[in-house]
Amino acid sequence: MPQEPAKIRNVAVLGHRGTGKTSLVESLLYESGATTRLGTVADGTTVTDYDDDEKRRSMSITASLARCTWEGRRLNLIDTPGDPAFQGDALGALRVVEGVIFEISGVAGVEVSTDRLWRRADELGLPRVLHVNLLDRERADFDAALASLHALSDSVVAVSMPMGHEHDYTGVIDLVHMRAYPDPKGQREGDGEEIPAAYAAEAQRRHDELIERVAESADELIEKYLDGQEITAGEMASALKAMVLRGAIFPVTCGAAARNSGTHALLDLLVEALPSPKRAGGLKAADAAGEEVVVGLDDGVVAYVFKTIADPFAGRLSLFRVFAGTVSGDSHLINQRTRAKERTGALLEVQGKDHSPCTSFGPGEIGAVAKLKDVTTGDVLLDRERDLVIPPVRLPAPVVSVAVEPAKKGEEDKLNQALRRLEEEDPTLVVHRDERTGEQLVEGLSQMHIEVTVERVKRRFGVEMITHPPRVPYLEAIRKQARGHGRHKKQTGGRGQFGDCHVEIAPLLGHEGYEFHDKIVGGVIPQGFRGAVDKGIQESMTRGPLAGFPVVGVGVTLVDGSYHNVDSSEMAFKIAGSMAFREAMAKADPVMLEPVMAVEISVPDDSVGDITGDLNSRRGRLLGIEPRGSSTTVRAEVPMAEMLTYSQTLTSVTGGRGDYAMSFLRYEEVPVHISQKVMAEAKKEAEAH
């Protein structure tokens, strides 16, 4: 039976890498009774980090679904990756939930990924709960972490506080109900205890601050507060819930998830403060005219596929959220993207890597279905044709690119198929062939992203591949005008070959495009042969004189020539045109061009100096430095050739706390010393072949 929408809470768990998101999910599952033991990331026994890559690296790489029940409500928890390399899954999860838990390190406070994901949640207007974790670690500081949260929003307020800190941490105090929850050390928490005397004064101070913030939300409460009357825990909880639902306040809880400490109060807050699908008010979309429409829970079937898992044996597994209607086994649905009909087979409930059969999923529920024909991440499934536009998830563009080829000859098709399957699973992974260099490229969000892809191709599909830096798509152009003459004459005893032409070439504005002008007067070259000259020139432009890169930004004028009544042919003039162009290029001061990228780098404030210094060493031009919350964004223009290994450098400089995005901007002339180096490498490569 489908779950009642009012009793569902769909929650994404977001935060920077290493904040303990997976441990928190594990603790929530254990505290609620969904599991019988508290798994750990270190020994690879958690419900949501089940993939071999995740166990080996001790980090989440893909979004994983787990569920539990608390106080009669169903909690669907999506544990998301915190590393910027895999943020596509985190962004996809935001599309299918009504609320978010942001996990914050009690040691590091707010970090780069948290800041970026917070802004995306802001755009979507999602209610949020924050959880400061790792308070039993060395250098943990709850007050410092809370101060860093104010950089995200002035509306954050603590609803719990720790007892002790670092190795003296012993549990948490619920500031709403004024109850203490000592560290259970693996035992599940009950209804709390009296607050120890050592923490009573601080707890009362924080409690009064909370009352003051919450009282602002309702006239009757502020009157009671100003009159000095007591505001009960029930009144405070009710007002707090209303404020969280409308985004007026973001409650901050705390604990040590790996020890199952502080989880009980957090579960209460999640089911009471975060909205259900029914309370959230339906899916906001647009009609064919672009007008906003709200899809009600019972308005036909609308299901959104937010995650695809590619398995070489089980096939494609699609995780989906039902926004409206009921999806049953053996339903016939329409893929809005392809307009093709899809028949759902057996439906599955998902708990980490484990699947169990399910007959149907109603509005608000999250489930899975296997082996749909042509459904990928981001697709919308409907029960009928309708003009309904759900905006796609805005994903970051790839910043790291490698050229790939199979380690064994004859496995090209097998490698391509494996990469395509992984591309379906991960929309931030881009696989394509570069027409300019002829290389098969795999593009991702970081070097680690690429490494994980290589490992998965080998482990899942049995294909080993070789990776190497891609060739930079240099171009060649000219700086000045020049004239060239091409004369092709060949006599073999019978009909010979004869073509003769003179061309003038000139640089075009911005080193872009190609133009051909016919200025022949008096028929010295017949009309039928002039097009052959143009073809010969364009073929020559595919390999420039400096290092064999394509030539761009040249205007060519055919000005003179001669022909032979018998021996002239299109082929002869094509060769003559090529010869004339090559001669003119050598005289026209040829120059190499390189792609320049627009780069935006987000780093912790203490890394800005190192980053700007490194960019200067890469021939970068700084455009601006902008503080954003707890991080700083550096904008610059940098040649592509200098960015091929930037991912590793950024990780090293920032300790894995920075990330970046880049996009093609324009082509510019290559400095002489760089072009000489590139030409020498091209010559060496040509000689080797």
Average pLDDT value for residue range 161-170: 92
pLDDT at 187: 45
67 - beta bridge partners? 76
CATH superfamily label, 283-382: Translation factors (2.40.30.10)
What is the DSSP track for 136-156? TSTT--HHHHHHHHTTT-TTE
Residue range(s) of every CATH 3.40.50.300 domain in the chain: 5-193+244-280
The pLDDT > 90 percentage for the chain reads 59
DSSP state of 373: S
The tally of CA atoms less than 13 A away on the side-chain side of residue 606 is 6
Q: Is-contact 383 425, C-beta < 8 A? A: no
Q: Is-contact 66 29, C-beta < 8 A? A: yes
Residue range(s) of every CATH 3.30.230.10 domain in the chain: 480-588
Average pLDDT value for residue range 577-587: 97
Rounded to two decimals, what is the model's pTM? 0.82
CATH number for the domain whose boundaries are 480-588: 3.30.230.10
The stretches of 71-196 forming alpha helices (DSSP H) are 87-94, 112-124, 142-149
Whether the CA torsion 10, 16, 18, 20 is positive or negative: it is negative
Average pLDDT value for residue range 63-71: 95
Residue range(s) of every CATH 3.30.70.870 domain in the chain: 400-468
Report which of residues 242 and 574 the model is more confident about: 574
Write out pLDDT tens, residues 334-382: 998 888 999 998 899 999 999 999 999 999 999 999 888 888 888 999 9
Q: Which whole-number Å values give the CA distances from 551 to 187, 424, 581, in the listed order?
A: 71, 36, 11
Q: Determine the Cα–Cα distance for residues 135 and 172; give it in Å rounded to an integer.
A: 10
Write out pLDDT tens, residues 432-463: 988 777 889 999 988 889 999 999 999 989 99
State the burial class of residue 45 (Cβ atoms within 10 Å of its Cβ: 0-12, 13-18, 19+): middle
**H or E element: which one contains 593?**
strand 590-604
Which bin fits 467, alpha (ψ -120 to 50), beta or left (φ > 0)? beta
Residue range(s) of every CATH 2.40.30.10 domain in the chain: 283-382
Q: Is-contact 309 316, C-beta < 8 A? A: yes
CATH architecture group of domain 5-193+244-280? 3-Layer(aba) Sandwich (3.40)
Residue range(s) of every CATH 3.30.70.240 domain in the chain: 593-679
238: Cβ–Cβ under 8 A, 6 or more apart, which residues?
none
Report which of residues 235 and 11 the model is more confident about: 11
What token pair was written down for 534?
């143009």
**Which pLDDT band, with edges at 50, 70 and 90, does 689 fall under?**
low
pLDDT at 51: 86
Residue 186 confidence (pLDDT) above 50: no
Q: What is the dihedral of CA 231, 237, 240, 244, to 10 degrees?
A: 180
Give the 3-state secondary structure of residue 209.
Answer: helix
Fold of the domain built from segment(s) 593-679: Alpha-Beta Plaits (3.30.70)
Write out pLDDT tens, residues 587-626: 999 999 999 999 999 888 888 999 999 999 999 999 999 9
DSSP state of 389: B
CATH architecture group of domain 400-468? 2-Layer Sandwich (3.30)
pLDDT at 184: 67
